[in-house]
Amino acid sequence: MRFALVVIALVACNSDRVEEPPRKTPWVHTEAQRRAAIGDVSTLSPELQRAFDPIDFVPTPPPNTSDWLDVYDEPGQTFDEHQAGKFHAPDDVRRVLYILPLGDFRADVPSPATLARIAHAYFGLEVRVLPAVPLADVEAKRRGLDVRGRPSQMFVADVLRWLVPRVPDDAQALIAVTMMDLYPDDKTWFTFGQGSFYERVAVESFARFDPEFYNGDRKPDWQKVMLARAAFTTIHELGHTFGLAHCTYYECVFAGVTNRREIDRRPLHACPICLRKLHAALKFDPARREDDLAAVFAELALDEEAAWSKQRAAWIRTGSLR
């Protein structure tokens, strides 16, 4: 029970649709509330003030039916609330992010090595990919059968519990990645991933990022779309291991999602509130970090994200958006 209470998830209640009507009125923040959530920046350097300036960030829109904020009642987490919590930050011993592949990965899907490059640029920490572990060795409940008669889903809480004793001594966090589908409880169809605030573990599944999962056609750019979805989930779940709750203030990589439509509309960049939380833990140079992200995104043909990071780096350094 304790473990379940500290887990944050990217959950979907069924195959991208929820049949029940909305249960609540969605959270809608005013501009003043969004700026207040960033916290007092008056004593920061001009560069940091620009890094946490909300200019060009898109406020969270009202959710569509079955979107995260249509289903889950979350007010969001301010910078000050994050700082008041007990979150893990790198120290002299724990300074490495680990990626643990579970099972096999096809050659045409995002590789753990590619995710490691993105995570390194995003968090500024060393990232190591561990040897893959066969799915049969993962002690987790299964349910459902695939077309070959094999179990099709793993119970995500069991996977996280299995990961905890396997966290390396020098790890800031350990994230497992798999092509096997995940589920969070008996009433919910699936989850894209989950991460823990306190145990420094997370897991994500790429199963539903492939259009063929739903018998859809693979368009010419399907691999780039799948890569963007995998990058989103990797960044998102690792963010939870730094104590970041779901963002409800802006369109942000740390916003909750229940379906692929939400993932596809979200950016890979963090909003100013969440960026400030990461900066408090990691102490990076914001402009140099955007340079690193722009380079990696450009190499991976994630052109919109590359352009965003390049422009943001210029803004942080000069205060000019041109």
Which residues are tagged catalytic?
237
Round to whole Å and give the CA distance between 181 and 246: 22
How does strand 171-178 pair with strand 201-205?
Answer: parallel
In 148-286, beta strands by DSSP E: 151-155, 171-178, 181-183, 190-196, 201-205
Count of residues making up the chain: 322
Cβ–Cβ < 8 Å for 163, 100: yes
- Collapsing DSSP to helix, strand or coil, 240 comes out as helix
Q: How far apart are the first and last CA of the chain?
A: 51
Cβ–Cβ < 8 Å for 164, 127? no
